[in-house]
Chain A
Amino acid sequence: METICDAGYRDELARLTPSLRRFARALVRHHLVDVADDLVQATLTRALGGDQGRRGTRLHVWLVSILVGLHRDQVRDLGAEQRIGSASDAATPTGQPWKSGRRDVALLGSIPVEYRESLLLVVLEGMSYAQVAECLGLSAATVATRVARARDYLARAQAGWSGGKPAVAGARTTSHLRLVK
């Protein structure tokens, strides 16, 4: 059945789809293309069935919040990333990994999901802390803290990856974050 839908709204969704795909791919475990694209499809499906009054930045923030919510459900169901600090991405990927040609891509997986979300929204989606806060239902201060925490995790993972040599003065290396890839 066709969803009745404003053409302008569809255009907006289509315009935002590439960046949603990018965000989803950065967010999901092992950056699996299929898993990420499934999230995007589910997000678009929900957006088509919802309030179609949003445009531009508001629509963007809303779409991302849908995607983040779906991803959290997924993570909760998996039970794999619940524990903060679990290096779940060290597990062997079983799907089709995205061929980025970059080994350090896997380091993102060492950031607990709730911190990773905030970091990626700021860095990839170019959102302000206030927009991320709206998107995730947090205060801007919490977003700032999460971004900072995410970077700490990333720095530690990078340090662990480069053979235990701290990437920056003061960064600790933690063996459980070492990459197995």
Chain B
Amino acid sequence: MMRPFSDVDLHAFVDGQVSPERRALIDAYLKVTPEEASRVDLWRRQNEAVRTIFAGAASEPVPLWLTIGQVASGRARAPNNSRDAIQDNRLPRSKPSRPVGASARPAGVGRLLRPIGVAVVAFLAGAAMPSLLPALPTAIENWLPATPRMGQMRRVAERTIEAHRTFSVDPDRPVEITDQPAGALAAWFRHHVAVPVRVPDLTKLGWTLRGGRVVPADQGPAALMVYENAVGDRLSLLVAGVNNPNLSDTSFALLPGPTLTWLDGPVGFGLVTSKEGSWLRDNAAALYRAVYAGGDG
């Protein structure tokens, strides 16, 4: 028997490429030819499977290095190991001149002093922030204005405290992975966290890196790093994406908890420790510097 519709017709039908009239004809044809109908049904299910499998990929937050501003400025991320397997010389990949995360990191003190009108707020029970870091509060206020940015900082602080209480204080298994070999943790975060994450070295402040894990946050997965000192206190550093519309803003606060929190463009930082509260305040500037100073990025 001559088939009224070719396979090409049927595929076009599945893909919605036929006119309504033709669609109706094919529908009618499929009703009387179960074998053809089952093939068409398989193709439909294939389409749905492909769409379902990759649906999430389009709703993931675009990594910072893939945003148009970053691409346009010619910045590239650092090479990572997984690419070595599939190396491609043809792609115009500019040599990274800075480590991952460099783009979201303030270029030293100058940048921190630059912003005019940047709200630098601290919640301090009557104490002034140490004056070591010029970027630290120039206006000390013991109340927190309900600005959107402040809301973001609060959220980062809350997330940090939650993560600290949930994971970091666990005596035996505070972390999901350790930084073995060195750089493994940063690589792990690079794959799982949309914002750039550096793993700072806090040994000068008495803290040894235990490792880290990926934790949930408002804008997707965030990086939690856990440190420990000689007497077993724990310190948590959370790096999370934040919905900060003004990317050039940097804010800094010691929120109740206490949590040292700051925003750096689209990235929020939170620090919590089980050491007594004043330690965080006293060492705020040093911690802040250490987070940007290096370590493995």
Q: Which residues does A use to contact B, with CB under 8 Å?
A: 1-3, 5, 10, 13-14, 17-19, 21-22, 25-26, 29, 32-35, 37-42, 44-46, 48, 70, 73-74, 77-78, 94-96, 98, 100, 102, 104-105, 108, 119-120, 122-124, 128-129, 141, 144-145, 147-148, 151, 154-155, 158, 167-171
Of the candidates B8, B15, B39, B191, which one forms a contact with A170 in the assembled complex, judged by CB atoms under 8 Å apart?
Answer: B39
- Return chain B residues, CB-CB under 8 Å to A46: 92
| Total inter-chain residue pairs, C-beta < 8 Å | 152
Of the candidates B11, B59, B74, which one forms a contact with A18 in the assembled complex, judged by CB atoms under 8 Å apart?
Answer: B59
Task: Report the nearest B residue to A144, measured CB to CB.
Answer: B8
Whether A37 and B46, one on each chain, are in contact in the complex, defined by CB atoms closer than 8 angstroms, is no
Of the candidates B35, B43, B72, B93, which one forms a contact with A151 in the assembled complex, judged by CB atoms under 8 Å apart?
Answer: B43
Q: B49 near A: Cβ within 8 Å?
A: yes
Name the distance in Å between B34's Cβ and chain A's nearest Cβ: 10
Given A17-B62, A96-B191, A100-B56, also A45-B92 (CB < 8 A): yes
Q: Which residues does B use to contact A, with CB under 8 Å?
A: 7-8, 11-12, 15, 17, 35, 38-39, 42-43, 46-47, 49-60, 62-63, 65-69, 71-74, 76, 80, 82-83, 85-86, 88-93, 191
Name the residue in B7, B50, B59 with the highest tally of chain A Cβ atoms < 10 Å from its Cβ. Answer: B50
Whether A169 and B35, one on each chain, are in contact in the complex, defined by CB atoms closer than 8 angstroms, is yes
- Return chain A residues, CB-CB under 8 Å to B93: 38, 41-42
Of the candidates B55, B56, B85, B90, which one forms a contact with A94 in the assembled complex, judged by CB atoms under 8 Å apart?
Answer: B85
- Return chain A residues, CB-CB under 8 Å to B191: 33-34, 96
Q: Bound complex: CA of A160 vs CA of B53, how far in Å?
A: 20
Task: Report the nearest B residue to A37, measured CB to CB.
Answer: B66
Q: Bound complex: CA of A3 vs CA of B65, how far in Å?
A: 15
Whether B15 and A37, one on each chain, are in contact in the complex, defined by CB atoms closer than 8 angstroms, is no
- Return chain A residues, CB-CB under 8 Å to B91: 38-39, 42, 70, 74
Whether B39 and A34, one on each chain, are in contact in the complex, defined by CB atoms closer than 8 angstroms, is no
Task: Report the nearest A residue to B71, measured CB to CB.
Answer: A44
Whether B89 and A26, one on each chain, are in contact in the complex, defined by CB atoms closer than 8 angstroms, is no
Whether A25 and B8, one on each chain, are in contact in the complex, defined by CB atoms closer than 8 angstroms, is no
- Return chain A residues, CB-CB under 8 Å to B69: 10
Q: Bound complex: CA of A102 vs CA of B56, how far in Å?
A: 12
Of the candidates A10, A35, A145, A158, which one forms a contact with B83 in the assembled complex, judged by CB atoms under 8 Å apart?
Answer: A35
Given A102-B53, A147-B15, also A41-B72 (CB < 8 A): no
Whether A14 and B35, one on each chain, are in contact in the complex, defined by CB atoms closer than 8 angstroms, is no
Whether A167 and B42, one on each chain, are in contact in the complex, defined by CB atoms closer than 8 angstroms, is yes
Q: Bound complex: CA of A77 vs CA of B87, how far in Å?
A: 9
- Return chain A residues, CB-CB under 8 Å to B7: 148
Of the candidates A3, A29, A104, A169, which one forms a contact with B72 in the assembled complex, judged by CB atoms under 8 Å apart?
Answer: A3
Q: Bound complex: CA of A41 vs CA of B70, how far in Å?
A: 10
Contacts A17-B62, A22-B55 supplied; 10 other A-B pairs, CB < 8 Å: A1-B73, A1-B74, A38-B83, A77-B90, A78-B86, A100-B54, A102-B53, A144-B11, A144-B12, A151-B46
Whether A21 and B62, one on each chain, are in contact in the complex, defined by CB atoms closer than 8 angstroms, is yes
- Return chain B residues, CB-CB under 8 Å to A21: 57-58, 60, 62, 66
- Return chain A residues, CB-CB under 8 Å to B55: 22
Given A95-B83, A95-B85, A96-B82, also A10-B54 (CB < 8 A): no
- Return chain B residues, CB-CB under 8 Å to A104: 49, 53
Given A18-B59, A18-B62, A74-B90, also A44-B68 (CB < 8 A): yes
